[in-house]
Amino acid sequence: MAPNGNRIVVYKGPGQVAVETVDYPKLEVPQDVASSKGMTRKADHAVILRNVSTNICGSDQHMVRGRTTAPVGQTLGHEITGEVIEKGSDVQFLEVGDICSVPFNIACGRCRNCREGATGVCLNVNPARAGSAYGYVDMGGWLGGQAEYVMVPFADFNLLKFPDRDQALEKIRDLTMLSDIFPTGYHGCYTAGVTTGSTVYIAGAGPVGLAAAHSAQLLGAAVVIVGDLNKERLQQARSFGCETVDVSENTPLDEQIRGVLGVNEVDCAVDAVGFEASAHGGGGEAPATVLNSVMTVTRAGGRLGIPGLYVTGDPGAPDEDAKEGTLKVRLGLGWAKSHAFVTGQCPVLKYNRGLMMSILHDKAQIAKAVNATVISLDDAPRGYQEFDKGAAKKYVIDPNGMIPAA
C-alpha cells in the first residue's frame, strides 16, 4: 500500500528551506508538460523510487540564495539514487527492488536530441526550453528529489541499474555522485580535452570542481591545479593530490600557475564556478571573472569545459546586463587564442555507466574527493546553511535510513 504522503525539501524564500509533506507521487507527468508536448498525463513508462540517497547541489544553492527566478514553494533536489517500489505497465527492463542512479537530466529517449546523445537538452520534457531536471526552476515542473519518494519518467531509458544490491549499498557514498557531479565534472574535463600528460586548471573547489579534479586524474592529467578563495576547500583539493592556487591573493593567476608549472599557462581549463563568481584578489562579485581568467591561462589552441551554471534570469546580479545573463566576456581573447568552448548541462547518460564501473572496481574514489557527508532529511536546512557558508563537504541526504554506517 502506498504511503500517505511524501516529505520533501521546499524553497521558502531567500536563504530558507523547509521539509514539508506533499502528496505521494503518482505515475503522471506534470500537466504543463503533457498539455504542451502532446503526451498523455498517465505515465505507464515511469517508476516511483524510494530514495536511498539524494544530494544537495551548488545549483540548488543558487535558487535558495534567491539568485534565480524560482518561486517560493519550488521543490528541490535533482541528485537522486533510489529503489524501485512501483512501476508502470510499460516499464520492461526494471523490477521492483532494483537500486538505480537517476540522471538529473530528464530525457524522453525519443526526440532528435536524445537520439543523438544530447540528453541534457531533450525537446519533449519541458515546455519552457530544451532540457529539464527534477526540482529546478524553469525545468518543466517535475517534483524534486530531496524527498522520501520521487517519480522518474521514461524509466527504461533514464535509469542506470546497479548490478548488485549489496554492493550498491556498500558503495552508495560514491555511487550517489553518479546522478550529477561526477559526470558533470568528468564532462567538463572530457570536453576540455584532458588526456594523458595534460596540465589542467580547475576553477572552483566546490563539489563539482573537486569532482572535475578527480576526473582529470582519472583521464591521466599530469598536473591538476585547483583555484578557489576558500582555504578549507583548497585543502580538500590537496588531500587527493591536486596543486592549488588561492585566487583571493593579489598575485595574478597566471603567475601563481607559473609557480606550480614553471610556465604561466595550462593545456586546458574547466569553469566549475558559474555566474556567482567573485573577482580575483578578494573583490566583489564579477560574473565573467572565471570565464575571462580561464581564457587568459589556457594555451592557444586549448579547450575550455564550462559546466559551471550560467542563467538567463538573475534578480540578484550586480548590474542590469547580468540580470539577463549578458556578461562582459573577452570573446576577442578566446578568438585570438583559437579556444574551443563547451557549455551547458552535462548529458549524464553519456558517462554514468563508465564512471559506475570505475567506482565498482575501485578505480575512482569520488566520495573521498568531495568529502561526502551523510545527513538526515530533517537536517537538510542545516546542510544548506553550512554549504552556503563554504563547508568543504558534499552533503548526502539519507531520507529513508538506508545508507549503511561508514
202-239 pLDDT, tens digit per residue, is 999 999 999 999 999 999 999 999 999 999 999 999 99
| Distant-in-sequence, close-in-space partners of 57: CB < 8 Å, separation ≥ 6 | 78, 79, 180, 181, 207
Q: What average pLDDT score do residues 2-23 get?
A: 95
Same domain, yes or no, for 173 and 186? Answer: no
CA dihedral sign, ordered 228, 131, 357, 155: positive
Same domain, yes or no, for 188 and 319? Answer: yes
Integer angstrom CA distances of residue 63 from 55, 76, 97, 384 = 15, 9, 33, 11
How much is the pLDDT for 284?
A: 83
CA distance linking residue 105 with residue 120, whole number of Å: 5
Asked if residue 356 has pLDDT above 80, the reply is: yes
Residue 108 domain-assigned (yes or no): yes
Residue 403 domain-assigned (yes or no): no
Q: What average pLDDT score do residues 254-273 get?
A: 98
Q: What average pLDDT score do residues 182-191 get?
A: 98
Q: Do 398 and 6 touch, CB atoms closer than 8 A?
A: no
Calculate Rg over the CA atoms of the chain.
20
Our count of domains for the chain comes to 2
Residue 404 domain-assigned (yes or no): no
DSSP for 323-344, please give it.
Answer: GGT-----HHHHHHTT-EEEES
Same domain, yes or no, for 36 and 71? Answer: yes
Domain that holds residue 145: 5-180+347-398
Residue 194 domain-assigned (yes or no): yes
For residue 190, what is the domain's CATH number? Answer: 3.40.50.720
Residue 323, C-alpha cell as written in the block: 540580470
Same domain, yes or no, for 235 and 128? Answer: no
Domain boundary among 320, 343, 366: 343
Same domain, yes or no, for 98 and 24? Answer: yes
Asked if residue 99 has pLDDT above 80, the reply is: yes
Same domain, yes or no, for 117 and 211? Answer: no
Same domain, yes or no, for 97 and 167? Answer: yes
Asked if residue 2 has pLDDT above 80, the reply is: no
CA dihedral sign, ordered 62, 285, 287, 394: negative
Domain boundary among 318, 343, 368: 343
How much is the pLDDT for 216?
A: 98
Same domain, yes or no, for 15 and 126? Answer: yes
Same domain, yes or no, for 165 and 232? Answer: no
Same domain, yes or no, for 248 and 155? Answer: no
Cell 558533470 belongs to 184
Chain segment 271-288, per-residue pLDDT in tens: 999 999 988 877 788 989
Residue 406 domain-assigned (yes or no): no
How much is the pLDDT for 1?
A: 67
Cell 523510487 belongs to 49
Domain boundary among 325, 343, 361: 343
CA distance linking residue 183 with residue 177, whole number of Å: 8
For residue 149, what is the domain's CATH number? Answer: 3.90.180.10
Same domain, yes or no, for 165 and 245? Answer: no
Confidence of residue 3 (pLDDT cuts 50, 70, 90): confident
123 — phi, psi (to 5°)?
-95, -5
pTM (global) more than 0.95: yes
Q: What average pLDDT score do residues 135-159 get?
A: 97
Same domain, yes or no, for 11 and 154? Answer: yes
